[in-house]
Structure 1
């Protein structure tokens, strides 16, 4: 995600090194590029185009609530500076770029740390806003979290992040790895004094690499008063044992950037087979169209499309999610009650679109009000179903 890296780093060499290091790390850790689409963000120009299209349907108030922006404002105020003194437009609007990364490929589930849940929720809201205005194009994503490793602490106890410069490079040489681990922040409890695992960055990092049995043993060692030096040695040995077999692969990739570049370019080609036609579809939806085709659209396909009824999903000021069903002329046929989440509203729409159950049953189970006869409503739904087939 090298576009994201530009938000807080203005050192070109560091940006390039970071891209190379992250790509090599994924591959050395066992990622098989033949089984996934592994690409560099900046190699997909459609990403930035989609970012702008999504920006145009995103409320500023939503960006005001982003954790990173609020943290930057709080830091400036605490320092007696203007609230936005250190806020670039990149920092302010980067949740939209993140949403574009996700929505470009219509991901259903996104593995994230617990601290990133807000961004998935924002992507869902942005998708719902776009879908409401231009029709169903995006799948609202869901966050997938591993509770045991939801957020990994860094050397200083804060969330491990390159932004905080508190990371432990996964494939650092043993000497550097040992030195970094020795610098993990701990309290002043002496050897022999029981130590708390709760809130201990050292223990949490160990837990991320260790088996349940090994974790239980270190927990006992903490209670028995293990010295911090011995605990850090245990952590070093556990990480080095896990990482050593991968380190040679990592170092080989770093030494041969042409191998990395070839893999990334191949991944970009695979990604663009999806991104290019999808972006063309989205451009068409918002009205960025080939002028030569407009006359033909009016006579042919456009009439066919205009003849179809459609569902519209949206969010109201009360925070609830709604949908409505309208005919080709925009006449309201059906109006939903409010749903707590866009997922629930979308599931209800899907049930109506598919007509997998008799319409009277659906109208009893889904909180909606139909403003025309049931027969007219079913006719419109059948028309939409036939067009999909």
Structure 2
């Protein structure tokens, strides 16, 4: 049983070393857990609450996507997408808004803090407060509930938002008489590292004390590290490590043995200049290779776009059927007359529903039994292995109909994408030559399997009703 874990990334800034150690690195590591179905999304709608600088939001979306991919997030195993590419999230937000008590939103920490500041400054309580800030908890609830995430990693200051998402989900379930949503749990990240900045305070853009992760290259990183504030002890004098920002940053990247050796050198009188150089070299050993990948990604934004759109397709294959079920539950159903009109040849033009992927079986020239998986646009994505027994081919086909992309064992092998079941390769397809397009193609196969599973479940539900 996979645990679905969802993480949102606000797109309003340029990542720095503290972001990497505190958020990116542990999240990428967690995404590699085979028992986790990891969802990572760029919360660009949330960003609009904090910033009205369109160019900044646009640039940040690109830089943050490149940062996560360069840091090792695998879009073939994790679902990586932009919030704004999932229209089901905003539709769900409105459905949830209609059952959310205003009193609940009045108690949100961010809104209360804004009101308290206004009152302290003898201004109108809601001065400068936008509806976006006020409704932030409902949008966050929609982000989580659209995918029925089991766990949401948050700091302690965000626990209230998860509790509010639970309250909203429970009210919706109660109002419409069915458990549409699972109750998300806050996963408290007690051990998240907080790096000190150049001046010893928490590394933050707000304090202008950050060390850039990729911006400015190795030269920019070294220049920033050389500005770390230290005490006035001269070379040859023992240095303290307990309250040293420089040592704390070194420890966040080094092994225990490296940390012990560095501490010994500082206690033995290593000069601060030499210590900063040692810190730069240790950090650069980890960040340098990532920076190369980051720069390659930034040079090909279209490849990142393909990866994000493939992730969005995979996410929508899950959110779409859920929101359709919720529309039925709240009464947003099409009348029988409307259904008849839609089926009539002379019906008014409408936006066509995307065709689902399909599996087509055939008998090969050698007498073996095979099948193909086609995408909704008709492109062949996978061709099965040859089966002597038609029942064996049918069993594999039936499994694919309900498997879903998240549970599928799919990997790139040379120039092919290979699908395995129980350790055995059962189907394969050609991969594009371009590296970025290859990752996007694998994501597309996963998205097709998700959509196929959703279509199979929808067809089964329709048969039960009949």
- Shorter-chain TM-score bucket reads 0.5 to 0.7
Q: Do structure 1's residue 271 and structure 2's residue 315 form an aligned pair?
A: yes
How big is the shift at 1:270?
0.9
**What is residue 95 of structure 1 aligned with on the other side?**
137
**What is residue 147 of structure 1 aligned with on the other side?**
190
**TM-score, normalised by the number of residues in structure 2:** 0.55
Local SS of the residue matching 1:111: strand
* Mean CA deviation greater in 102-111 or 86-95: 86-95
Following superposition of structure 1 onto structure 2, how do residues 53-72 of structure 1 map, counting pairs within 5 Å?
Answer: 53-72=95-114
Q: Do structure 1's residue 112 and structure 2's residue 144 form an aligned pair?
A: no
Structure that is richer in helix per residue: 1
Deviations 1:84-143 (A, max 9, x none): 333222222212212211111111122233433332222222222222222211111122
How big is the shift at 1:47?
0.9
Q: Do structure 1's residue 137 and structure 2's residue 186 form an aligned pair?
A: no
1:51 is aligned, of 93, 101, 104, to 93
**Structure 2: runs of 5 or more not aligned:** 1-42, 341-463
Describe the shift of the 1:266–1:188 C-alpha distance in structure 2 as closer, same or farther (beyond 3 A).
Answer: same
How big is the shift at 1:201?
5.5
Q: Distance in 2 between matches of 1:218 and 1:66?
A: 45
- Cα pair 1:197 1:219 within 8 Å, conserved: no
Describe the shift of the 1:244–1:128 C-alpha distance in structure 2 as closer, same or farther (beyond 3 A).
Answer: same
Local SS of the residue matching 1:148: coil
Q: Do structure 1's residue 38 and structure 2's residue 107 form an aligned pair?
A: no
Describe the shift of the 1:120–1:77 C-alpha distance in structure 2 as closer, same or farther (beyond 3 A).
Answer: same
Q: Do structure 1's residue 254 and structure 2's residue 311 form an aligned pair?
A: no
1:3 is aligned, of 38, 45, 67, to 45
Q: Distance in 2 between matches of 1:252 and 1:233?
A: 27
1:245 is aligned, of 261, 285, 289, to 289
**TM-score, normalised by the number of residues in structure 1:** 0.65
Following superposition of structure 1 onto structure 2, how do residues 185-334 of structure 1 map, counting pairs within 5 Å?
Answer: 186=229, 190=233, 192=237, 195=240, 197=242, 202-216=246-260, 232-292=276-336
Structure that is richer in strand per residue: 2
- Cα pair 2:162 2:185 within 8 Å, conserved: yes
Q: Distance in 2 between matches of 1:222 and 1:69?
A: 46
Q: Distance in 1 between matches of 2:126 and 2:271?
A: 44
Q: Distance in 2 between matches of 1:293 and 1:287?
A: 16
Describe the shift of the 1:276–1:35 C-alpha distance in structure 2 as closer, same or farther (beyond 3 A).
Answer: same
Deviations 1:160-190 (A, max 9, x none): 5567766544223112222333455x57665
Deviations 1:214-256 (A, max 9, x none): 4455566677787665554444333211111111111011111
Local SS of the residue matching 1:31: coil
Deviations 1:184-204 (A, max 9, x none): 5x5766555764646x65555
Q: Distance in 1 between matches of 2:279 and 2:121?
A: 37
Q: Distance in 2 between matches of 1:290 and 1:109?
A: 35
How big is the shift at 1:280?
0.9
Q: Do structure 1's residue 13 and structure 2's residue 55 form an aligned pair?
A: yes
**What is residue 179 of structure 1 aligned with on the other side?**
223
How many residue pairs were aligned? 295
Q: Distance in 1 between matches of 2:227 and 2:124?
A: 34
Describe the shift of the 1:107–1:290 C-alpha distance in structure 2 as closer, same or farther (beyond 3 A).
Answer: same
Describe the shift of the 1:190–1:108 C-alpha distance in structure 2 as closer, same or farther (beyond 3 A).
Answer: same
Local SS of the residue matching 1:7: helix
- Cα pair 1:206 1:238 within 8 Å, conserved: yes
Q: Distance in 1 between matches of 2:83 and 2:335?
A: 31
Q: Distance in 1 between matches of 2:203 and 2:111?
A: 18
Q: Do structure 1's residue 24 and structure 2's residue 66 form an aligned pair?
A: yes
Q: Distance in 2 between matches of 1:14 and 1:84?
A: 26
